[in-house]
Every structure is written in structure tokens, then in C-alpha cells.
Amino acid sequence: MEKLVIHGPTKLKGEVTISGAKNAAVAILPAALLIDGVCKIENLPNISDVKMYCKILQELGAKITWITENEIEIDARDLSCTQAPIEMTSKFRASYYLLGVLLGRCGTAEVGLPGRM
């Protein structure tokens, strides 16, 4: 782990960019499907869990547009499916968030058991 040691009366100045939280992102991404429209999400961590969730949302019919490395738009107007791909959701522990979202939006849902593959 790195550290900074500051000696003297010098004041610290500057900016630090804080990455978005993984646990928040995996809850917010599926929640975007509750909107029958376009949702913009900023400050997403650029990690495999976020990318996996985006692939799952695309399989459900959402259109995902990456604006920057940490910002996306989700267009859920043409949601076409309530059956999440079992082979993807069963590898992904946070896939259970899809159950509530799909039930709330569509009235039915099918999602693989998390962590079963």
C-alpha cells in the first residue's frame, strides 16, 4: 500500500476521483428496467460485474450505450423478455435483483439461482 507523507506547513490541494461502488452499481443497473424510457447512470465502476449485468440487460431487450468508460445509458422502452439467460445469471451472485424488477415491470420473471454454475 502506498502512502503520502507531508512535512511542513504546506496545505494540500487537488482533486481525487472516487470510483463508484460495485454493490451500488449491481443494484442500480437492474432498477433502470423499471423505467419505461431512457436512464443515464454515471460513475459506474469499470469492472466485470457491471459489464456482465449490462449483457444480461441487453438479453432482456434493453439497449445499452456506453457514453464514457464509467457512464452508460439504458433504454428499456422495448423490454422484450422476462426470462434472464440462466447461463449468465447463475454465475452472477447479484442476479437476484432482477426478480423484483421483472416482477414489478412485467408481472413475471425467470432468473437462475445465483452462484449455481
Q: Report the CATH number that the domain containing residue 71 is assigned in CATH.
A: 3.65.10.10
Question: Is 114 inside a domain boundary?
Answer: no
Question: Is 113 inside a domain boundary?
Answer: no
The pLDDT, as a whole number, for residue 13 is 86
Name the domain count of the chain. 1
The pLDDT, as a whole number, for residue 43 is 94
Question: Is 112 inside a domain boundary?
Answer: no
The pLDDT, as a whole number, for residue 115 is 67
Domain span at 54: 22-106
| pLDDT mean values, one per 10 residues, the chain (117 residues) | 80 85 93 94 93 93 96 94 86 85 90 72
What are the Cα distances from residue 70, in Å, to 44, 46, 56, 92? Answer: 5, 6, 18, 20
The pLDDT, as a whole number, for residue 69 is 93
Question: Is 69 inside a domain boundary?
Answer: yes
Question: Is 83 inside a domain boundary?
Answer: yes
Q: Which of 78, 96, 84 is nearest to 35 (CA)?
A: 78
Question: Is 2 inside a domain boundary?
Answer: no
Indicate the pTM of the whole model: 0.81
